[in-house]
Amino acid sequence: MTVLRTTKLESLKASRHINPLWGRSSTPAIFEIAFCATLVLLCPASFLIPWSALELCDGSIGKLLVRLGDMDGIYSIFNLAQESLPSVVAPMKIYGSWVVFQATLFIVLPGTTGYGETTPAGNRLWYKINGLLSWFLTIGVYILGALCSWWDADIVAKQWMGLMVAASTYGIVLTLLVYIKAHVTPSHSLDRKFSGSLFHDIFAGIELNPRIGDLDLKLFNIGRVGMTAWTIVNLSFAASQYQHFGYVCNGMIVVNILQSLYILDFFYQEDWYIGTIDIAHDHFGFYLAWGGAAWIPSMYTLQAQYLAHYPFNLSQTTALIILLVGVFGYWMFRASNHQRIVVRRTGGKCVIWGKKPVVITAHYTTSNGERHTSLLLCSGFWGIARHFNYIADLILAFAMCAPCGTRNVLPYAYFVYMTVLLIHRSIRDEDRCSKKYGKDWELYKARVPYALIPGIY
């Protein structure tokens, strides 16, 4: 219903449309374009790197590099990949059923209505919030299927190579589809960004929130296809460890608990997620289409994949300490994100750390020329650093990797990736907020001078 409303509104707005003052930059530098092209071309096969390291090199990236140094080594990887993928038909069918099942749940399950942030073109979109129910139902069906022998509990681990090929293919096809859709039948035409570069448009996306009917492609792809798969992949690799070794090590249990907590939170707070950068500001291209479909299930699950191959039992005390550090990181992650949301939702009429919140009323203009106001919180976690929620996330990310021990760096790839992602994200968010809020953002920076770590950065 709202899609129709915004479309009508758009035709009115088009007549007085001015260039967006904020939102993603529309003039990427040449090195950015080259970077985007490199990622689009190389990423689809990236899952082969951890897979080869796990299957052939004792989980060691160092050994993998040595093996890649001579032709025999490359052939052995190639041969094993071929053996592991006798046919793509079965995994394609499984993956196709997965996407259709998730889309069906997304559309038919009941839910509440959430509203996103105002977009640069002045649209405020509605979202059906039913992710939590969908997540529980999916896990329920997965367990029921395993109990009833419709499939094996380690089905994903067994079919890993084929499923990753299917996920990567789906991610590429979706990227191309949304690229074409953005030109031919955009959902909200004034919220498109054209960069003038094919590779940049494919990588970063053109449409902000593309939809097919009620199916919001971004929320669906990241949340249902990606985040829900994260849980199932983890459970399946835990089952695989049990199949091979006859037990599930406590490291695997800690990884599953912490990551499930993070994913459960994601769905429990789905109406919060629609206000985050992913949904509110990033356009939908390869980064989020292929990223949601293939990167999340392959890279975020590295710890479970690693432990399924090389179990690691922590002492009970170490396991408990890691669990507690992770829960502490999670608490700070949730509390900091919640503070920002509650201040915005209540218009500042709330209590942060026992006191009235300190806020800046910031002003911005949408591309239709309308002036809006928004609140910037300067107390609580948001008074410590401008992106303190990222530090909390990193503490949790480290705790998710630590149960794998210190034998190999491979399972720490998630922590390294999150560190790079969040530092880069803080830089681009600062840039966008500074364009959006102008001198109000400068005022905020004067009050809260550090971006991530007080006294350091």
Point out which residues bind ligand NDP (CB under 6 A): 117, 276-278, 333, 337, 340, 374, 376-377, 382, 387, 389-390, 393, 422, 425, 429, 433, 436
Residues 6+ apart with CB under 8 A from 78: none
CB of 291 to ligand NDP, least distance (A): 9
CB of 453 to ligand NDP, least distance (A): 14
What DSSP string describes 430-448? HHHHHHHHTHHHHHHHHHS
Q: d(Cα 84, Cα 105) in Å, to the nearest integer?
A: 31
Number of H helices and number of E strands within the chain? 23, 6
Q: In terms of CB distance, is 145 or 454 closer to ligand NDP?
A: 454
CB of 386 to ligand NDP, least distance (A): 6
Q: d(Cα 171, Cα 178) in Å, to the nearest integer?
A: 11
Are 194 and 179 in contact by the 8 Å Cβ rule? The answer is no
CB of 329 to ligand NDP, least distance (A): 10
Q: In terms of CB distance, is 37 or 280 closer to ligand NDP?
A: 280
Q: In terms of CB distance, is 235 or 274 closer to ligand NDP?
A: 274
Q: In terms of CB distance, is 155 or 222 closer to ligand NDP?
A: 222
Q: Which is nearest to 417 in space by CA: 308, 295, 330, 305?
A: 295
Q: In terms of CB distance, is 67 or 224 closer to ligand NDP?
A: 224
Check the CA dihedral 431-7-374-129 and report its sign. Answer: negative
Q: Which is nearest to 214 in space by CA: 104, 124, 288, 96?
A: 104
The amino acid at 384: I
Are 54 and 306 in contact by the 8 Å Cβ rule? The answer is yes
CB of 168 to ligand NDP, least distance (A): 18
Are 293 and 164 in contact by the 8 Å Cβ rule? The answer is no
CB of 161 to ligand NDP, least distance (A): 24
Q: In terms of CB distance, is 175 or 337 closer to ligand NDP?
A: 337
Q: In terms of CB distance, is 117 or 214 closer to ligand NDP?
A: 117
CB of 124 to ligand NDP, least distance (A): 12
Kindly report the length of the chain: 457
Q: d(Cα 161, Cα 84) in Å, to the nearest integer?
A: 6
- The residue sitting closest to ligand NDP, measured at its beta carbon, is 276
Q: Which is nearest to 224 in space by CA: 107, 94, 131?
A: 131
Q: In terms of CB distance, is 106 or 330 closer to ligand NDP?
A: 330
**Percent helix, strand and coil across the chain, each rounded to 5?**
65, 5, 30
CB of 114 to ligand NDP, least distance (A): 15
CB of 81 to ligand NDP, least distance (A): 27
Check the CA dihedral 11-13-14-20 and report its sign. Answer: negative
Q: In terms of CB distance, is 153 or 219 closer to ligand NDP?
A: 219
